Amino acid sequence: MTILETIIIALIKIVLIIVLMLLSVAYTVYFERKIAAWVQNRKGPNRVGWLGLLQPFADVFKLLLKEDIVPEKANKILHTLAPFIALFVSFATYAVITIGPAVEIFGYKINLVVADVNIGILYVLALTSLGVYGITFAGWSSGSKYSLLGGIRSSAQMISYEVSMGFSIAGVIMLSQSLSPMKIVDSQYGWMWNAVVQPIGFITFLVSAFAETNRLPFDLPEAEPELVGGYHTEYSSFKFAGFFLAEYANMIVASMMIVTLYLGGYQIPYIDKLGLNSTLLVFLQIGAFLLKVAFFMFFFIWVRWSLPRFRYDQLMDLGWKVMFPLSLLNLVWVALLIMIFGF
Amino acid sequence: MAEKKRLKNLTFLEKMYIPEIVKGLALTLKQMLSPSVTMQYPEVKFEPPASYRGRPVLVQETNGTERCVACGLCSRVCPALAIEVQAAETELEKERYPQKFEINMLRCIFCGFCEEVCPEEAIVMSKDYELVFQNRESAIYGKDKLLVPVDELKDRIDFLRKFKK
Amino acid sequence: MPTITIDGKQIEFKQGQTVIEVAYEAGVEIPHFCYHPKLSISGNCRVCLVEIEKMPKLAISCATLAGDGMVVHTNSAKTLEARNAVMEFILINHPLDCPICDEAGECKLQDYAYAHSRGESRFEEIKNRKEKRVQLGPRIKFDGDRCISCSRCIRFSDEIAKSNQLTFTNRGDKVTISTFPGESFDNPYSMNTVDICPVGALTNNDFRFKSRVWEMSFTDSICVGCARGCNTEIGVRNNEILRLTPRQNEEVNSFWMCDNGRLNTFKNVNAEDRIDGTFVRKEGQLQKVNWDEALEVAAKSLKEYKSGEIAFVGSAFATCEDNFVLAKLAKQLNIASVDFARHSVAGDQDDILIREDKTPNTAGAELVFTKTNGAKLEGIFRLIKEGKVKTLFVMEDDLGSINDEWEQALGMLDLLIVTATNSNKTTALADIVFPAASYAEKHGTFVNFQGRVQRIRPAVSLDEMDRALDGMNMSRWDKFGTKFDRWNQGHKYDAKPSWKILAQLSSHLGGKIKYEMAEEVFAEIANSVDAFKGLDYDEIGELGIQLKISEKVEK
């Protein structure tokens, strides 16, 4: 493979990922609204297009056509920068997500990941930490008390839960002995999914993922009853769309991470034993990955429309007094597994 | 800090959260699968019950005249000052009739006091809830818009006879 | 002094007073329909029954003379029972047509039924029907159903109006009021029966169905129909006068006023020909200009004439304040010829209320103008004819309508400045017309023929006024209305009280006459005019004060 070919393949992957991601975000919003409606015995969007399927586009056009308002007291540069940081972080995370095994197309062996870096998980952790900046900047630069409170809450919350998330991941890494997502997926061969092997780690990671994505019941940064719109109170039009996009993109990333780290990624247990055609196998595996991700997306939305929001002190209590010790406990458990059972 | 008194002490399982969360999720899942109650508004319209308080209207007798005698009680009782009545003399037996009867639908709060106070059962709350206007002037409904034949208001009048003291 | 005890209150009284009179003076209310303090006792309604100790039966308080040591109970169980029973009897045949009855809201039967009766009827029989909408007189309609046969109207026509035009006909429950055959109840005081009718049986043709009483605001005022100056109440809705009713003032008009004053003194306030805004003659036509321009033109034009060529004419229709400021402006300009016109109709006078002098303030104008010693009205007329007076300022009077000669004379003037409420022959000839506030739109004082100074108050709002800020009486509609409510868009005329116009004109002429309120003008009158010495505007109050000018007083 020449360098040129590598670059072209990488570009194609990037474009594909971005397009697919934007589409999936759009339809995540659509399903969010639909599921909310179903939970509340309503119909949800059903006017724009068949079954309301064009609703996301209408939403996007509406957002883009709105006036872009920058408050007088805002720090203009940071105010503009903030949504791009948020957006960049969530987009960049996709680079290391493995959605399937390596495939051969037109004679090229292609990994179904934009960048198969051997420190992928570290990369994800680093980027999600960066995501705090987008929100904190947005909160601070708006020059509004609601935004500021939202931003502060957000950074405090993300830092708190990052701890337990990091320790949960540590358990996974100890087992797989690699930071590469592909290796991690491979290490969960058969039913040895991390969710089965280390259930406490799975739960702490899941909860932390909710907190990291600012989804209910942890959506304190944008708690409407108290903070109007939270950190994006003063945003409108395209910049608001940026945050909106980032939030849902984060949700997708989180789902993908959960699947990759704990549910065996694209693997279907023991499917290779059936001796299927390799192309079919690849498609089945990609399908399995997407299905798993879709389930978690649904789970995110489902939880949002079922649970009430935490109070701020409860959130902190949960983060430091419950999730953090639990993730440590999980580490001990994994260590024991390795020492006693020789995983 | 004093221990907060709870209405109910939580059991261990409840303190674990997870079973409770699962219960909650199960409930919402059940709701997701139950049919929707939404009415597709412009195509399907809600037919209110007789007790519904929609736009106040004047009862028009079968001979085309209004029942109203312009006593002005509705106007007096109206907490939002939405009703203006100008009486005049008529040759009919009722002596008085409203030369002008205007309800400012921007002021109206649909409380139904006018209907309650009316000694002639001449103003009643209709089932009409579709009130659209594009300026303040057209929000003032005169007799032309307020008069509704008595047959169309039978439901409400029967309801009033049954429940109004 | 003999004393009587009413509801535990010891009250002194004069021999010959009835129980109800004593109670009334002591502020104890006893319900009554047929009793009226100014009419003879008829005692037929029976609702004023009271329990008097040591009397075997209840007695009607209106016909029982108060006696020393009497103990009266107006709210004992026995009295209440009797009262309820009487109310029930009266209501047997009284129709439940309050919704269409004009009296509703100020109806004694309604009040007493609310306070003293059962709340529902025990009679299942059909109510008696009598004649309705009977035109008793040219100004009064009678509703037989509503009549409770108290006979107040009959007694009024006999005793006060002395016309003996009404009577009862038939007997028992068929009894009704009517005029004698072929007669019409056309007495000039006939409409007082509408006021004293305790129910809505007699209705005012003019006001009939115009408005519910609770929709109006009421302002104390004075009738401007003649020199009597009857105390009145102006009923206003949507900035329009709908009704004038008399107000009790024993010194002037008691409870009464004449039909002419009641009907014909307020119509001009909202008339079609009302002058709205200032007008200046340009190219032969009166054209509307703004106040500043009109005042400027008037000042400039006046400066072109010598003071000897100018004459001022005040008005007996205007208040003392207006005339005083006119006199003051005349003094500022060194004008000697200041007078006003008298409007008397010889023979149109009776010994009840109506006076020959058809202006409300002749006495006041005379008092205010005593200090002027130039030509009087006749002299001014002559000077105009001779061409010596070239400029005339006419305040609120229609000199052009006095006779054709006056109209001709006005035509000869070089400059005619007028303040007027309505268009008339004088304004048609004027070069500059200022819109004057009518008596219902300003504060001020009138002095009636007895020499009694009485206050008028604004009931109708002018463009420059605000009901709330100017402390005017307000109805519920006035209080809560906005500019978007049609019922709150009654026209507000662009006019000012004459004294204000004159004061502004004075400052345009370089003078120092400056007043903010009519009260200030009055304070100065009280300082400088002998008859008004020491008077205070607030002290005049609702009933007025008698001036110390004894030679003018006649009863």
Q: Which of B28, B35, B38 sits opposite A39 (nearest CB)?
A: B28
Chain B residue whose CA is closest to C237? B86
Each residue's pLDDT tens digit, C203-212: 999 999 999 9
Q: Is B28 within 8 Å of A42 when comparing Cβ atoms? A: no
| Residue C513 backbone phi and psi in degrees, to 5 | -75, 120
User: Which amino acid appears at position C135 of this protein?
Assistant: Q
Å between A46 CA and nearest CA of chain B: 10
Q: Which of A39, A303, A307 sits opposite B32 (nearest CB)?
A: A39
Q: What is the ipTM for the molecules in this complex?
A: 0.84
Chain B CB contacts of A38 below 8 Å: 31-33, 36
Q: Which of B84, B96, B107 sits opposite C209 (nearest CB)?
A: B96
Chain B CB contacts of C215 below 8 Å: 72, 75-76
Q: Is B35 within 8 Å of A43 when comparing Cβ atoms? A: no
Q: Is B32 within 8 Å of A307 when comparing Cβ atoms? A: no
Domain boundaries, chain A: 66-341
Chain B CB contacts of C104 below 8 Å: 71
Peptide bond preceding B98: is omega within 30 degrees of 0, i.e. cis? Answer: no
Q: CA nearest C212: which of C95, C97, C104?
A: C104
Cα(C261)–Cα(C225) distance, integer angstroms:
5
Cα(A298)–Cα(A23) distance, integer angstroms:
16
Secondary structure (DSSP) of A286-309: HHHHHHHHHHHHHHHHHHHTTSPP
Give chains near C: 3+ CB pairs under 8 A: B
Cα(A233)–Cα(A229) distance, integer angstroms:
4
Neighbour tally for B159: CB within 10 Å: 17
Chain A CB contacts of B35 below 8 Å: 41
**Residue range(s) occupied by CATH 3.40.50.740 in chain C:** 278-441+495-552
Each residue's pLDDT tens digit, B4-34: 677 777 777 777 778 888 888 999 999 888 8
CB distance C32 to C48 below 8 Å: yes
Cα(A230)–Cα(A150) distance, integer angstroms:
4
Greater pLDDT, A235 or B57: B57
Place of tokens 């400056």: C514
pLDDT band at C555 (very low <50, low <70, confident <90, very high): very low
Q: Is C99 within 8 Å of B119 when comparing Cβ atoms? A: yes
Q: Is B71 within 8 Å of C100 when comparing Cβ atoms? A: yes
CB distance A64 to A76 below 8 Å: no
pLDDT band at C553 (very low <50, low <70, confident <90, very high): very low
- Beta bridge partner(s), residue B11: none
Q: Is B29 within 8 Å of A35 when comparing Cβ atoms? A: no
Chain B residue whose CA is closest to A44? B38
Q: Which of B69, B84, B102 sits opposite C99 (nearest CB)?
A: B69
Which range in A127-136, A239-248, C337-346 is most confidently predicted, on average pLDDT?
Answer: C337-346
Q: Is B24 within 8 Å of A307 when comparing Cβ atoms? A: yes
Report CA Rg, chain B.
Answer: 25
| Residue B79 backbone phi and psi in degrees, to 5 | -70, -15
Q: CA nearest C278: which of C446, C48, C495?
A: C495
Q: Is B81 within 8 Å of C484 when comparing Cβ atoms? A: no
Give chains near B: 3+ CB pairs under 8 A: A, C
List C-alpha distances in Å: C132 to C53, C150, C448: 43, 18, 41
Angle between helix A278-304 and helix B18-33 axes, rounded to 10 deg: 100
**Residue range(s) occupied by CATH 3.10.20.740 in chain C:** 3-92
Neighbour tally for C511: CB within 10 Å: 17
What is residue A131's three-state secondary structure?
helix
pLDDT band at A212 (very low <50, low <70, confident <90, very high): confident
Place of tokens 């909202």: C270
Å between B162 CA and nearest CA of chain C: 20
Which range in A114-123, A249-258, C414-423, C546-555 is most confidently predicted, on average pLDDT?
Answer: C414-423
Report CA Rg, chain C.
Answer: 27
List C-alpha distances in Å: C368 to B80, C502, C528: 50, 16, 9
- Give the torsion sign (CA, C290, C296, C301, C307): positive
Å between B8 CA and nearest CA of chain A: 18
Residue B141's H or E segment, with its range, is: strand B140-141
Mean pLDDT, residues C462-469 taken together: 92
User: Which amino acid appears at position A205 of this protein?
Assistant: F
pLDDT exceeds 50 at position A323: yes
Structural domains for chain B: 56-163 (3.30.70.3270)
Strand order in the sheet with B96-104: B83-89, B96-104, B140-141
pLDDT exceeds 60 at position B1: no
Angle between helix A3-39 and helix A55-65 axes, rounded to 10 deg: 100
Q: CA nearest C432: which of C270, C268, C301?
A: C301
- DSSP H helix total and E strand total for chain C: 16, 23
Question: How many CB pairs below 8 Å do chains B and C form together?
Answer: 49
Residue C286's H or E segment, with its range, is: strand C285-289
| Residue C542 backbone phi and psi in degrees, to 5 | -85, -25
What is the CATH code of the structural domain delimited by C98-105+123-209? Answer: 3.30.70.20
Tokens representing residue B8 in the block: 């109910």
**Residue range(s) occupied by CATH 3.30.70.20 in chain C:** 98-105+123-209
CB distance A78 to A140 below 8 Å: yes
Which range in A214-218, A240-244, C474-478 is most confidently predicted, on average pLDDT?
Answer: C474-478
State which fold the C278-441+495-552 domain adopts: Rossmann fold (3.40.50)
pLDDT exceeds 50 at position C554: no
pLDDT exceeds 90 at position C457: yes
Tokens representing residue A38 in the block: 């179903």
Å between B74 CA and nearest CA of chain C: 11
Place of tokens 């699968």: B33
Q: Which residues of B touch A (CB under 8 A)?
A: 18, 21, 24-25, 27-29, 31-38, 40
Residue C219's H or E segment, with its range, is: strand C217-222
Chain C residue whose CA is closest to B91? C133
Secondary structure (DSSP) of C147-198: -----HHHHIIIIIS----EEEES-GGG-EEEEPTT-----TTTTHHHHH-S
What's the confidence (pLDDT) of residue C551? 53
Mean pLDDT, residues C210-215 taken together: 92
Place of tokens 């005793």: C159
Chain B CB contacts of C209 below 8 Å: 70, 87-89, 96
Architecture of domain C3-92: Roll (3.10)
Place of tokens 């020393």: C68
Beta strands in chain A (DSSP E): 103-105, 108-110
Mean pLDDT, residues A80-105 taken together: 80
- Give the torsion sign (CA, C459, C465, C471, C473): positive
What's the confidence (pLDDT) of residue B3? 64
Rounded to 10 degrees, the C-alpha dihedral C72/C76/C81/C86 comes to: 30
Residues 6 or more apart in contact with residue C110 via CB below 8 angstroms: C98, C103, C104
The answer, yes or no, to whether A and C have at least 3 beta-carbon pairs within 8 Å is: no
What's the confidence (pLDDT) of residue C518? 93
Chain A CB contacts of B21 below 8 Å: 303, 306-307
Q: What is the 3-state secondary structure (H, E, C) of C460-512?
A: CCCCCCCCCCCCCCCCHHHHHCCCCCHHHCCCCCCCECHHHHHHHHHHHCCCC
Cα(A268)–Cα(A270) distance, integer angstroms:
6
Neighbour tally for C332: CB within 10 Å: 17
pLDDT exceeds 80 at position A108: no
Å between C486 CA and nearest CA of chain B: 9
Q: CA nearest C215: which of C24, C402, C487?
A: C487
What's the confidence (pLDDT) of residue C489? 86
pLDDT band at C497 (very low <50, low <70, confident <90, very high): very high
pLDDT band at B56 (very low <50, low <70, confident <90, very high): very high
Mean pLDDT, residues C233-257 taken together: 94
pLDDT band at B2 (very low <50, low <70, confident <90, very high): low
Q: CA nearest C353: which of C234, C245, C223, C454?
A: C223
- Give rounded-to-5 percent helix, strand, coil for chain C: 30, 20, 50
Q: Is C99 within 8 Å of B120 when comparing Cβ atoms? A: yes
Percentage of chain A exceeding pLDDT 70:
97
CB distance C65 to C17 below 8 Å: yes
> Across all residues in chain C, what is the average pLDDT?
91
Cα(A88)–Cα(A123) distance, integer angstroms:
14
pLDDT band at A176 (very low <50, low <70, confident <90, very high): confident
Q: CA nearest C383: which of C314, C310, C461?
A: C310
Tokens representing residue C236 in the block: 């206003």
Q: Is B38 within 8 Å of A35 when comparing Cβ atoms? A: no
The strand pair at C217-222 and C338-341 is best described as unpaired
Chain C residue whose CA is closest to B105? C485
Each residue's pLDDT tens digit, A12-60: 888 888 888 888 888 888 989 999 999 998 888 888 888 888 988 888 8
Each residue's pLDDT tens digit, C291-324: 999 999 999 999 999 988 999 999 999 999 999 9
Cα(C31)–Cα(C83) distance, integer angstroms:
9
Give chains near A: 3+ CB pairs under 8 A: B
What's the confidence (pLDDT) of residue A1? 65
Cα(C522)–Cα(C36) distance, integer angstroms:
37
pLDDT band at C475 (very low <50, low <70, confident <90, very high): very high
Residues 6 or more apart in contact with residue C28 via CB below 8 angstroms: C6, C7, C9, C74
Chain A CB contacts of B32 below 8 Å: 35, 38-39
Q: Is B71 within 8 Å of C212 when comparing Cβ atoms? A: yes
Percentage of chain C exceeding pLDDT 70:
99
What's the confidence (pLDDT) of residue C143? 93
What's the confidence (pLDDT) of residue C355? 93
Cα(C391)–Cα(C409) distance, integer angstroms:
11
Whole-prediction pTM: 0.78
What's the confidence (pLDDT) of residue A93? 84
Residues 6 or more apart in contact with residue C133 via CB below 8 angstroms: B95, C141, C142, C143
Q: Is B71 within 8 Å of C487 when comparing Cβ atoms? A: no
CB distance C440 to C472 below 8 Å: no
